[in-house]
Amino acid sequence: MIFENNIAFARSLDAQDSLAEMRSEFLFPEQNNKPFIYLCGNSLGLQPKVAKEVLQRQLDNWKNLAVEGWFDGQEPWMFYHKELKKLMAPIVGASPAEVCPMNTLTVNLHLLMVSFYQPKGKKYKIIMEAGAFPSDQYAIESQVRFHGFNADDAIIEVKPREGEYILRTEDIVKTIKEHGNEIALVLFGGINYFTGQWFDMQAITVAGHSIGAKVGFDLAHAAGNVPLKLHDWDVDFACWCSYKYQNSGPGGISGIFVHEKHFSDTNLHRFAGWWGYNESKRFKMEKGFIPEAGADGWQISCTQVMPMALYHESLTLFEKAGFMDALRNKSKTLTSYLFYIINEANKELGEEQYKIITPQNEEDRGAQVSIIAKANGKVIFDHLVANHVLGDWREPNVIRLSPVPMYNSFEDIYRTGELLLAVARSI
């Protein structure tokens, strides 16, 4: 598409946008009675308007049914997660049996490592991307220590080449193969939180399996952002949070994926709890853990009804949008337009004031565009916020702007560009 740097053009794209109506499903934060242009769905998605009603409905269930709510009412809590599984599956490319909502993300990362990081002999190392989200670094570090290894030795990080920000797939694959006989687990992010790079998950999975390692992904920045095919790609396990691109609210429930080929593997360790117990016998309260079939067998504690109710409602909005296809198409155009608009600002400024570190190739990124300002990055960021554009700042120097196809418009992008130009001129 040939883009134009003017408001009429941006509005013409909005007029042709079949998802434009979805914007009205969300509440936007305001400052001095003026709504923000919200470009921070990569950190916390906006509140769907129905959220309040959904919570109220569950409060009413609690009030009216109390303990009977587990088995009675329109949505008995005991089986409520099944309603979510159906809607989560198409977002990550899995069968409903392979996914389950539970806990929060880093907790699930640990639980899945209990099952899929089982070091044996010389094969005890984990390979991951350098610069992964800190929580993942800490989780992996503590897991290798828990197994009695030294983190410096047992964790192999793949780094970008000198002077580059993006990891090259060939370098990832080469490192996996070079360390083939030492690696127990390949654990990557789907999309890196800092650069916005979407890794070639299929190539990583193939490489990991070729050396006999398990392969898992943290999809915090990928689930609900880009289309995924976890089952077909043969990924062993994955987990994600639902409060970023999936709008389930702060601290929202996490989701897990376990490939069905592992369902009957009794050699996998699990940290068990009653909610993962065979459903038909759960309330017999018997001794000896027998897991429920599928991803559900990884549950530990009883269903978190309130966070699940919020996630359910936001998943319904994905269903309304036709799940990932239309969203991804719009997302590619939105993000490409943001690239164009930033480059136009640089042209007008006569220098690369805003350096984009997110991959140029649209197949290697999701919604997020990460930029490094040539100078005064934090000052520029603060100006954006003061002028109603809310992205986010990541130390040491990155401004992340993420247009979300569910609720952002092309006009949002155009206005952000205007402001980037004005701010650079004013400081």
Binding site for ligand PLP (CB under 6 A): 104-106, 133, 135-136, 189, 193, 218, 220-221, 241
Q: Buried b vs exposed e over 321-357: b needs ≥16 C-beta within 10 Å?
A: bebbeebbebbbbbbbbbbbbbbbbbeeeeeebbebb
199 residue type, one letter: F
* 175: number of Cβ within 10 Å: 19
CA distance 88 to 76: 19
Is the Cβ of residue 5 or residue 368 nearer to ligand PLP in the bound state?
A: 368
**CB nearer to ligand PLP: pick between 157 and 352:** 157
Q: How far is the CB of 104 from ligand PLP (least distance, A)?
A: 5
Min dist CB 132 to ligand PLP, Å, is 7
Q: Least distance in Å: CB of 134 to ligand PLP? A: 8
Among residues 22 and 109, whose Cβ is nearest to ligand PLP?
Answer: 109
Are the C-beta atoms of residues 240 and 92 closer than 8 Å to each other? Answer: yes
Binding residues: 105-106, 133-136, 218, 221, 243, 274
CB of 197 to ligand PLP, least distance (A): 12
In the complex, least distance from residue 42 CB atom to ligand PLP, rounded to whole angstroms? 8
Closest separation in Å from C-beta 81 to ligand PLP: 18
Q: Which is nearer to ligand PLP, 368 or 387 (CB)?
A: 368
Sign of the four-CA dihedral 134, 140, 142, 145: negative
Residue 341 C-beta: closest distance to ligand PLP, Å: 25
Cα pseudo-dihedral 278, 282, 288, 289, rounded to 10: 40
Residues annotated within a binding site for pyridoxal 5'-phosphate: 105-106, 133-136, 218, 221, 243, 274
Please say which residue, 189 or 307, places its beta carbon nearer to ligand PLP.
Answer: 189
Q: Which is nearer to ligand PLP, 104 or 278 (CB)?
A: 104
